[in-house]
Structure 1
Amino acid sequence: MKYIGSKTKLLGFIDSVVSECQSKINKPSDQIVFCDLFSGSGKVANHFKDRFKVVANDLEYYSYATLCNLLNNDSSTAYECKPILEYMNYCMDGMQGFIYQNYSEAGGRMYFTNENAMLIDAGISLVYEMYENKQLNDQQFYYCLCSVLEAADKVSNTTGMYLAYLKKFTTSALKPIVFKGFDLTEPVANNEVYLGDANALLKEASGDILYLDPPYTATQYSNAYHLLNTMAKNEQPQVYGITGRPEGRNISGWSSKRNVEAEFRTLIESANFEFLIMSYSNESIMPVELIRDVMGSFGKYTVRKMEHQRFKSKAGNENSVGGNTVTEYLHVLHKVG
């Protein structure tokens, strides 16, 4: 899944800083609790699941489903679901459901070709019907559902987000949709996945290493990926406008210049973790100086930084004004008290 703020290419950098913190914790690695509080596409949580017990959270349901699949499934689930994906790819007929009616060329919004939209509708319907009939357990449900989400994202006629669709179908959007499985490694422990507000979760959660990757900009993820939420929830909301955005959305205070500092201060103060590591770029809402001052008041503060390539959409680099690279900071707090 192409995801704004994805840390796929920064995993080595993040791992090196996490390993520094781990070396100062007097516990075996499989007893260390690592919390990924704004987990998004789940790349960081998935990276550490073979080393630590992972607690992951996000505000959006498509992310929650992704995390349930990545963190709570293993190769046995992949084996059990293989016949279902084979049926979806070779035997399933398309249906003119909600996605076809609202987000296909026939529906007046070119997010998907007509053929792919009908197969997306059929895939979602099949997965939910089997789950409701108790033909799938929770693990199998999230595995199959995420296969539909990943497949749909690969053939979406967008720049990588769902704020709008392109006027002409791209080469990838014209390809027939393929429902693929996942190459899952075995998790080291019983991981926990949550759906909700980050600061609310911290009232209950505690552990050793807290990794933070909050929204950087004013973009609300519930807008940018609204169609993934609609598909993941099997909803039929009222939609409006040229882009077909549904009514209602999750609003994150981290994407508001007015509210982000209060959210940040509350989080740092309430976090019951020994180490806090926060990813934040040089183009983010909060300045480096504010982060340093707030985190430094609760313990020993250090910072690492790395240059990396700017996020590029499927249509190319939309944000070329600032150059091709972004500075990623990892703000580290060894919390005292």
Structure 2
Amino acid sequence: MSFRYLGNKTRLASWIVGEIGQILPIGSSIADPMCGTASVSLALAQANYSVTAADALTFPIVHAKVRLLTKQAPVFKAFGGYHNVLKWMSSIEPMEGYFFQEFGEAGKPKNGRDSRLYFSASNAAHIDGVRNGIRKLVSSGDISDIEHNLLLHHLILATNKVANISGTYGYFLRTLSQAALQPIVFEPIKFEQTLGEHTVIHGPIEKTASTLQVDAVYLDPPYTKRQYAGNYHILETLAREDEPIAVGDGGLRPWKNQASNFCYRRNAAMAFRDTLTKLNVPHVFISYSQDGQVNEDELYSILSDFGKVTLNECSYSRYRSNNRAKDGAVLERLYHIESF
């Protein structure tokens, strides 16, 4: 199942890892402290690196724990196996709970506005049913921590597939799309038998950068003004398993304490400098779009203060919204800094 996620590097992961492989010996340790969907983390793990993944948001941590740490299907003793738990998720009794009221087409948001069309009524109620079921399993002690994360991973992926959005959760479409009208489906995933020793850490780059004791760091900072915490609030709520006050017409959760300086044009250059100052590693690789908040010349100048800089570029289609590509292609730049 694909990830609908701004800046997702799935299409570029093999190129990025190939370029890193020209510099970093196989078996080395590398951190991906802004891991997002963990697509590059997984590709690095598949290339036999030991990976430390981290992120400021919660739902990327759920993805990373499953993609890096879950190397085979958990036993799910309470259900008699992995495939049985997927059947349970599919057949669970729906309920008209938080998602139904705040984000479903038939809901009644607490702030009194009209219903938010993020999901069909049936899918919103199904999501509530699964959330309630997972809470009961955790409370009863019938699932392990890794099984818990796997259930959340499946719920996030399935919810994302039927969301009535153009690409992010900043707002919903005016009418339910064909994808949103489809029933929510929980599909089995492939578990990766990677060789490295992997770690997953929850925390912002401002706190994790100075703690990383690895051979290299791969940075994939936000490059647009759109804050991930606001634009993916529903996925964050699924991962946190809470019921925050849904604010405004879009129903956003409180997110400004998770805002990234990389998204602000006035702060992005300093965010690069602060992050690199905190890192103490021989090699840093930075993936950054030509559309980024910091232009190429300024970024190159900043990076040059921290070591010898080399640059590779790859052209690819711009981010797709509702399966429509914006005009033209865009350059992704991969900078390598070899510390002085």
TM-score between both structures, scaled by the size of structure 2: 0.92
Shift of 1:153: 0.4
Tell me whether 1:121 sits opposite 2:128 in the alignment.
Answer: yes
The whole-number CA distance in structure 1 between the counterparts of 2:237 and 2:64 is 17
Instruction: Give matches, 1:12-27, under 5 Å.
Output: 12-23=14-25
The whole-number CA distance in structure 1 between the counterparts of 2:4 and 2:238 is 17
Shift of 1:298: 2.2
> In the alignment, what sits opposite 1:275?
283
Contact 1:78 1:182 in 2 (8 A): no
> In the alignment, what sits opposite 1:293?
301
The whole-number CA distance in structure 1 between the counterparts of 2:309 and 2:141 is 50
Structure 1: which amino acid aligns with 2:152?
A: L
> In the alignment, what sits opposite 1:329?
333
Pick aligned residue for 2:60 from 55, 60, 63: 63
Give me the CA root mean square deviation: 1.5
Instruction: Give matches, 1:224-303, under 5 Å.
Output: 224-249=231-256, 250-303=258-311
> In the alignment, what sits opposite 2:192?
185
The whole-number CA distance in structure 1 between the counterparts of 2:36 and 2:75 is 22
Tell me whether 1:106 sits opposite 2:93 in the alignment.
Answer: no
Shift of 1:247: 2.9
Shift of 1:315: 5.7
> In the alignment, what sits opposite 1:82?
83
The Cα offsets for residues 45-76 of structure 1, whole Å up to 9 and x where unpaired, read as: 01111311110111111111111111110223
Q: 1:314 to 1:193 in 2, by over 3 A?
A: same
The whole-number CA distance in structure 1 between the counterparts of 2:131 and 2:197 is 28
The whole-number CA distance in structure 1 between the counterparts of 2:20 and 2:181 is 41
Tell me whether 1:307 sits opposite 2:307 in the alignment.
Answer: no
SS in 1 for 2:330: strand
Shift of 1:78: 7.3
The Cα offsets for residues 176-220 of structure 1, whole Å up to 9 and x where unpaired, read as: 111122201113233111111103111111211211100001110
The whole-number CA distance in structure 2 between the counterparts of 1:16 and 1:246 is 38
SS in 2 for 1:65: helix
SS in 1 for 2:8: coil
> In the alignment, what sits opposite 2:215?
208
Contact 1:226 1:246 in 2 (8 A): yes
SS in 2 for 1:238: coil
Unpaired segments ≥5 residues, structure 2: 108-114
Pick aligned residue for 2:50 from 46, 49, 53: 53
SS in 2 for 1:239: coil
The whole-number CA distance in structure 1 between the counterparts of 2:83 and 2:239 is 20
The whole-number CA distance in structure 1 between the counterparts of 2:255 and 2:217 is 30
The whole-number CA distance in structure 2 between the counterparts of 1:92 and 1:113 is 17
> In the alignment, what sits opposite 2:111?
none
Matched positions, count:
325
Structure 1: which amino acid aligns with 2:50?
A: K
The whole-number CA distance in structure 2 between the counterparts of 1:329 and 1:78 is 42
> In the alignment, what sits opposite 2:95?
95
Moved more, 153-162 or 306-315: 306-315
SS in 2 for 1:49: helix
The whole-number CA distance in structure 2 between the counterparts of 1:259 and 1:172 is 38
Structure 1: which amino acid aligns with 2:37?
A: S
The whole-number CA distance in structure 2 between the counterparts of 1:65 and 1:104 is 24
> In the alignment, what sits opposite 2:230?
223
Identity of aligned residues (%): 25
Contact 2:227 2:260 in 1 (8 A): yes
The Cα offsets for residues 150-184 of structure 1, whole Å up to 9 and x where unpaired, read as: 00000000012101111111111111111122201
The whole-number CA distance in structure 1 between the counterparts of 2:10 and 2:104 is 30
> In the alignment, what sits opposite 1:26?
none
SS in 1 for 2:286: strand
Shift of 1:309: 0.2
Contact 1:78 1:181 in 2 (8 A): no
The whole-number CA distance in structure 2 between the counterparts of 1:18 and 1:217 is 24
The Cα offsets for residues 257-299 of structure 1, whole Å up to 9 and x where unpaired, read as: 2222222112212212211110111110111112212222222
Unpaired segments ≥5 residues, structure 1: 24-28
